[in-house]
Chains A and B, each alone.
Chain A
């Protein structure tokens, strides 16, 4: 058996210690794995063990699979069918179905990244459906931004949302202001402060 030596001091006083770490993937939840560290009792140097990569990659691959299935389930539950997503994104038929259902097949990292972006901003499917047309993309973005502002307003009635856009020949001004309504005491004490400054 190969003697394990410390990378710092070169002594063979190295022992392997195991401890758990948490791994997580967006939309895939988290899980724990045991990793190894080489600890030198002579100098105290702690080194990550080379075998950890395999353990981590194996677990991550499982979490990525779960993440893909969750993302697709959620998109389906929002009303986006697999066939319509494949069509909008220009993917060969049954590609997404295979990502979801074939346990033997691991979706590529780029496929997972694409579907996470779509899950985060599902309206991008509408942009893709319009062949990424600049004007349509802007309209869809603004429409969804407006929807989000309405939602924020509904969720936080104590805030006032004001927005405006003005355009002249050489000037475009867009502002979105979210402000909390002041309670009368604050206003009067504010007036007092300003009064003292005069």
Chain B
């Protein structure tokens, strides 16, 4: 069941991206994230992606949901927070989790939110306080 509130403070995640600076990284990318970030946002390297996030690139952040990310039954599944964001003319989707065992943030998804056609309108309506119910997530 998705949680209605974020599991993490997004500021902690953004701070982690800022602190990367080429040193041993505490933010990792799941396979495929760099490809979609390049395809949809012209961000070609991990450094590009983390710098973009660190410098406030995720505009108009809107929490989508927080769901369990399960790859294996042996490991207690971490909660993965998902957000919509705006950047220029595009609406994006990012999801991430914190791996307690490894003390690392992992970006699970980073792509344009094509599946979520009306989002630009929804955001506009919400900003105009004409829509209040929460958005359902998409992946």
Instruction: Report A's interface with B, CB cutoff 8 A.
Output: 5, 7-10, 21, 23, 37, 39, 42-48, 50, 52-53, 56-57, 60
- Decide: B106 and A8 in contact? CB cutoff 8 A: yes
In the bound complex, CA of A121 to CA of B8 (Å) = 45
- Decide: A50 and B25 in contact? CB cutoff 8 A: yes
- Decide: B72 and A42 in contact? CB cutoff 8 A: yes
- Decide: B30 and A47 in contact? CB cutoff 8 A: yes
Question: Which residues of chain A have C-beta atoms less than 8 A from B28's C-beta?
Answer: 7, 47-48
| Contact residue among B30, B46, B104 (Cβ-Cβ distance under 8 Å from A46) | B30
- Decide: A60 and B44 in contact? CB cutoff 8 A: yes
B98 CB to closest chain A CB (Å) equals 11
Q: A37-B31, A48-B30 are in contact. List 8 more A-B contacts (CB 8 A).
A: A7-B99, A39-B31, A43-B72, A43-B75, A46-B32, A48-B33, A50-B25, A56-B44
For B107, the closest partner residue in chain A by CB is: A48
- Decide: B104 and A53 in contact? CB cutoff 8 A: no
Interface size of B in residues (CB-CB distance below 8 Å):
22
In the bound complex, CA of A10 to CA of B34 (Å) = 22
- Decide: A7 and B104 in contact? CB cutoff 8 A: yes
Question: Which residues of chain A have C-beta atoms less than 8 A from B75's C-beta?
Answer: 8-9, 43
Instruction: Report B's interface with A, CB cutoff 8 A.
Output: 25, 28-35, 44-47, 71-72, 74-75, 99, 101-102, 104, 106
- Decide: B30 and A45 in contact? CB cutoff 8 A: yes
Most chain-A CB neighbours within 10 Å: which of B32, B33, B72?
Answer: B72
B129 CB to closest chain A CB (Å) equals 32
- Decide: B44 and A44 in contact? CB cutoff 8 A: no
| Contact residue among A5, A45, A60 (Cβ-Cβ distance under 8 Å from B71) | A45
Question: Which residues of chain B have C-beta atoms less than 8 A from A57's C-beta?
Answer: 45, 47
B45 CB to closest chain A CB (Å) equals 4
> Total number of A-B contacts with CB less than 8 angstroms?
59
- Decide: B46 and A7 in contact? CB cutoff 8 A: no
In the bound complex, CA of A53 to CA of B34 (Å) = 10
In the bound complex, CA of A10 to CA of B28 (Å) = 14
Question: Which residues of chain B have C-beta atoms less than 8 A from A7's C-beta?
Answer: 28, 99, 102, 104, 106
For A37, the closest partner residue in chain B by CB is: B31
| Contact residue among B46, B47, B101, B106 (Cβ-Cβ distance under 8 Å from A10) | B101
Pull 20 A–B residue pairs with CB atoms less than 8 Å apart, ordered by A.
A5-B102, A9-B71, A9-B75, A44-B71, A45-B30, A45-B71, A46-B32, A47-B29, A47-B106, A48-B30, A48-B31, A48-B33, A50-B25, A52-B34, A52-B45, A52-B46, A53-B47, A56-B44, A56-B45, A57-B47
- Decide: B71 and A48 in contact? CB cutoff 8 A: no
For B34, the closest partner residue in chain A by CB is: A48
- Decide: B99 and A46 in contact? CB cutoff 8 A: no
Q: A43-B72, A48-B28 are in contact. Are A21 and B99 (CB under 8 A)?
A: no
